[in-house]
Amino acid sequence: MNIEIGTKIKQLRLKLGMTQEQLGEELSVSPQAVSKWESGTTMPDIQLLPEISVIFGISIDELFSMTDESRMERIENMIDNVRFITEKDFTESENFLKEKEKDEKKKARAALLLAELYSKRIWEYRELASELGQKALLLNPDEKRAHNVIFDADGGPYSDYNATNHVKTIDFYKDFLEEHPENPRTYLWLMDLLIADGRTEEAKEYLWKMDKIEHSFRTDLYLGLIAKEECDLPKALEHWEHMTEEFDCWLSWSCKGDLYARLCRFEEAVAFYEHALEIQPPPRYMDITESLSFIAEATGDYEKAVEYRKKSIELCETDWKITEGEWVDIHKREIERLEGKIKKSVLR
């Protein structure tokens, strides 16, 4: 019930174009209280319900009703903002979405949400599997199967072709593009898979098809990725330099940061990321600050890694008006883990 009424309040608030702060002012409560309602952590005090219904222009009964749209919104919020979905909520959501797949008007969204729900469950179990695999290895350092579990859960870089090729997914995207050749974003997903499998000649064919539809910084981005896969790093760097010269936008600089980070050219990567964050218009994403935190950790600067995680929390609050839930909690957990590393380094 908490989550249902919270979802309804959020929908109605956004429909009126109100912020959590504005609704809180109307009800004489804090924005944090409104955030807790919307995340399902708490419910509004029963004495506030008449006032809430007046603000939104609905009856109290309507406030507690759940339309199909409300239920789908609730499932989206749960996927985005809950670390581990309960079995009850998962089963109820799964059954509801399977039923909505039969509705011609709702089946597209239902299918997407069902896919995202299953993907969420995969990531939940992968996190659990990784932790248990590491525990098992610590208890038995000679247990090879524990390594397999950790690699499977964390996407470890296996060298076995049979376990790492993307042949089936590549064929799906090729067939998809036969039907939808004017969809430029799909070319990106296909080229990622082709390059990962070393099929660079095919990747070039699709790159030029995409470029004819939409010329952007991504042309040089993928020309560089192809050159790198073909072991021509100088040529790759030329393409990536031209990328930010021709398209001076936050996305091109952020991608350049990704590319240099993967080359372990961390100092340059940090500069590119920082510049991207500086010119990125709000609301700013946390991808950049997360990447900066990982670079700091990789270079042993755990204090700096904590700073970047705190910056991620700050962006959640300032740019997205989110103060609670998994968006924030994941960074708090990382800060706790990193602070543990700092303490260990001090003890050494």
Burial status of residue 209 (CB atoms within 10 A of its CB: 0-12, 13-18, 19 or more): middle
Task: List pLDDT tens digits, range 150-206.
Answer: 999 999 999 999 999 999 999 999 999 999 999 999 999 999 999 999 999 999 999
State yes or no: pLDDT of 69 exceeds 70. Answer: yes
- Residue, of 330 and 78, whose pLDDT is higher: 330
Task: List pLDDT tens digits, range 215-258.
Answer: 999 999 999 999 999 999 999 999 999 999 999 999 999 999 99
List C-alpha distances in Å: 270 to 218, 309, 338.
21, 15, 19
Of 14-23, 103-112, 213-222, 243-252, which range is least confident?
Answer: 14-23
Report the alpha-carbon distance of residue 64 to residue 74 in Å, rounded.
13
Token pair for 1: 């019930």
Q: How crowded is residue 177: how many other Cβ atoms within 10 Å of its Cβ?
A: 18
Collapsing DSSP states into helix, strand and coil, what is residue 113?
helix
Contact assessment for residue 64 and residue 4, using Cβ atoms and an 8 Å cutoff: yes
Nearest CA to 186 out of 155, 218, 217 is that of 218
pTM, 2 dp: 0.79
Task: List pLDDT tens digits, range 320-336.
Answer: 988 888 999 999 999 99
Burial status of residue 253 (CB atoms within 10 A of its CB: 0-12, 13-18, 19 or more): buried
Distance of CA 258 to the CA centre of its chain: 16
Label residue 19 left, alpha or beta by phi (over 0 means left) and psi (-120 to 50 means alpha).
beta
State yes or no: pLDDT of 209 exceeds 80. Answer: yes
List C-alpha distances in Å: 250 to 217, 271, 277, 306, 314.
11, 12, 7, 23, 19
- Arithmetic mean of pLDDT, 259-263: 98
Question: What string of DSSP letters covers 303-342?
Answer: HHHHHHHHHHHHHHHHHH---SSHHHHHHHHHHHHHHHHH
Report the alpha-carbon distance of residue 252 to residue 271 in Å, rounded.
13
The dihedral through the CA atoms of 303, 258, 121, 71 has a sign that is positive
Task: List pLDDT tens digits, range 130-162.
Answer: 999 999 999 999 999 999 999 999 999 999 999
Task: List pLDDT tens digits, range 275-313.
Answer: 999 999 999 999 999 999 999 999 999 999 999 999 999
**What stretch of H or E contains 25?**
helix 20-27
pLDDT category at 1 given cuts 50, 70, 90 is: low
